[in-house]
Amino acid sequence: MELATPRPPVLDLLRRERLVAVLRGADADALTAATAVLAANGVRLIELTLSSDAGLTALRRVAADRTLPPDTVLGAGTVLTRDQARAAIDAGARYLVTPGVTEEVLAEGVDQGVPVLCGALTPSEAMAAVRLGATAVKLFPAYAVGGARYLRDLRAPLPDVPFIAIGGIALDDIADYFAAGAVAVGVGSPLLREAGTDSSPAALAALAERARAYVAATSAER
């Protein structure tokens, strides 16, 4: 029997792929369909948020889908509690994402050996996240505090912290965030748009086109 090729750690994947798709919505069918389209069009890191029960349902479905590209890496976002972290890991999440410095989620991730991408906005929060075991720090919401310029200033005293910029990132913003030192960008509504609630062929075709554009834009900066 041929052994599966070991997958690289999540931080290495972030540095290599440079793109995380963030899917949020209340329709599990639409989220499941959107995940399949993103994976088929080159998006390797996909985060399904737990802001509704649909996110966990979709995560469980797509984690069991053997037709997805084998290098697709699924994560759970908006993880707020230890119980949510456990449920997400049981459903197939290979990484967890928090909107802020959530100590119990970080502790569960460390206990289970599952990477946590921890939300932070200030130097104190970023330092706390790293101290508690975060694999990377999610700068969120990036656009609301000055975007790439703020990230550049934040990294000046924290040059070794791996930052992922998330929040309102359009295609034209990607080069600026990478120039400011982001290891990756996370993209939610600018990428997903209507595909979070609409799984019609037209909506999925438009999603596929946007996915290819974001993959191309991030690939150009590798």
Instruction: Tell me which residue has tokens 């590798």.
Output: 222
Q: Which amino acid is at 200?
A: S
- Which secondary-structure segment (H or E) carries 49? strand 45-49
Cross-strand partners of 138: 119, 164
Active-site residue identified among 47, 108, 194, 221: 47
Q: For this structure, is 138 an active site residue?
A: yes
Active-site residue identified among 2, 103, 138, 194: 138
Yes or no: say if 105 and 81 are a contact pair by the CB < 8 Å rule.
Answer: yes
* 202/187 Cα distance (integer angstroms): 21
Total residues found in the chain within this entry: 222
Q: Which amino acid is at 84?
A: Q
Q: For this structure, is 47 an active site residue?
A: yes
* 77/91 Cα distance (integer angstroms): 13
Which residues are marked as active site?
Answer: 47, 138
